[in-house]
Amino acid sequence: MIKIPSAFLTFYSLMVFFFLMPAVYILFTGEFSNLYIEYSDIEYESGLHLFLVSVGLSFVAFFIAYSAGKRRPLLFLNININRNDSMYGLHKKYIFIRKILLPIVTIMVFVFFYKVGFQKLSLLGTEMDAWQFRMIGFDDTSRILIAFNELARRVILPFFLVIELLNVLLVTRYKKKYFYFVLFLFAVGIVNTLDRAPLMTLMVLFIYIYIAVNPSIKKMVFGSFIALLSISILASLMTYFQYNILDFDLMTIINSALDFIMHRVLMVPTHAALELSYIKFPMDGPFLNFQYTRLGALFGMEYVGTEMSNSVYVAPVGYIADSWRNLGFFGVLFTSILLGFFASFVDRNLKKLNFYLAVVVSFMFVAFTLFLIFGVFYSQGSFVQMAFIGFIILVLNKDIVRNRRKI
């Protein structure tokens, strides 16, 4: 049996853990305050109320959309599978997609490596300035290459890797060459920029599949512990690499890992949201109105580069703060309702999907939610992720033979 979380459980548990709990902790303890700019307790409390309103609005929207189908929301979806049934193996449609997309994504990843990744690796360990080294691959000089590299790492490769990993685990005598090749492409994608996000995606993917295939409480707790430990250590190592630092020892890595969990993962999203958005853009405005968003740049608005003086306007502050700085309360209202409807759409269709695609969609929704927390909403990345999930549900699943399962 495979057990996967619903979109409802994924979205609201992660929002509570990464946004509301740190915000309440900071409010009552006063620790880690004024990380970026000075602000008052009243401003902070108002920002916390904004978090509560946003999560509450999406919650209401989810139940309105879900109740229209006269169903009760699920927390988990249980799928019974037969490991020896070839029906659960490869499908003609997937093989066709793999033949078309895999060569394309291979070209995308290796062109970026040739143009950027190889240069970055060759400079690792030199006396080059840490920030200059960090910006290689993010300097906005090759926007198209960057966009294709991100598309490969965030959407296409995770799609292939989930399916190939499930085949390796569940299909008897399955040839593993495609799994190893996709994993190799993912590794090259990580090396291309030496940043933490794709490595974290890969680690979360492996732990997610491990927990899904081994749904016992003990193994879920063990998997979660291993996930936290491995992600924090690997993220610490990658932090040193991405800033061109090779001089570190075991204790340095351990201290850095603890700091990564307490600071970057638990506190920074809340601080960035409040200080770089809500407090920077007061309730009476003016707001940005998409002027500097990467999404707006597609429609002729000003493109803000990573190293430009106004890059704070595109800083990763999470979806609530991104909505606030662009449209104020109306933006928070619109985005929260939209995400509530989208989570409901995913859950209403999750039970109808082919077994493979159900696991893919469930994982991609986890990755999408994490991007909403640690990234922004009004960017190409979040809308491409939503579109790809919609494509799997509405198009890809139609002609694939549905698996036998019990819910």
pLDDT at 227: 76
Q: Please say whether the beta carbons of 358 and 348 come within 8 A.
A: no
Please tell me whether residue 298 adopts helix, strand or coil conformation. Answer: coil
Q: Please say whether the beta carbons of 207 and 227 come within 8 A.
A: yes
**Amino acid at the residue 37:** I
Please, what is the Cα angle at 386 between 384 and 390, to 5 degrees? 115
**Amino acid at the residue 327:** L
C-alpha span between 163 and 355 (Å, rounded): 10
CA 5 to chain centre: 16
C-alpha span between 317 and 373 (Å, rounded): 8
C-alpha span between 319 and 248 (Å, rounded): 35
**Could you read off the pLDDT of 193-218 as tens digits, one per residue?**
888 889 989 989 998 998 888 777 77
pLDDT at 346: 94
Q: Sort residue 401 into left (φ over 0), alpha (ψ -120 to 50) or beta.
A: beta
* Spans of the chain, pLDDT less than 50: 84-89, 401-407
Residue with tokens 């998409």: 290
pLDDT at 404: 40
Peptide bond into 286 cis (omega under 30): yes
Residue 38 phi, psi (nearest 5): -75, 140
C-alpha span between 122 and 6 (Å, rounded): 44
Q: Please say whether the beta carbons of 167 and 89 come within 8 A.
A: yes
**Could you read off the pLDDT of 104-160 as tens digits, one per residue?**
999 999 999 999 899 999 999 898 998 889 888 776 666 788 888 889 999 999 999
Count of beta carbons in the 10 Å neighbourhood of residue 322: 28
C-alpha span between 232 and 105 (Å, rounded): 29
C-alpha span between 274 and 321 (Å, rounded): 7
C-alpha span between 199 and 194 (Å, rounded): 9
pLDDT at 267: 80
pLDDT at 337: 93
pLDDT at 122: 92
Picking from 165, 161, 175, the residue whose alpha carbon sits closest to that of residue 105 is: 161
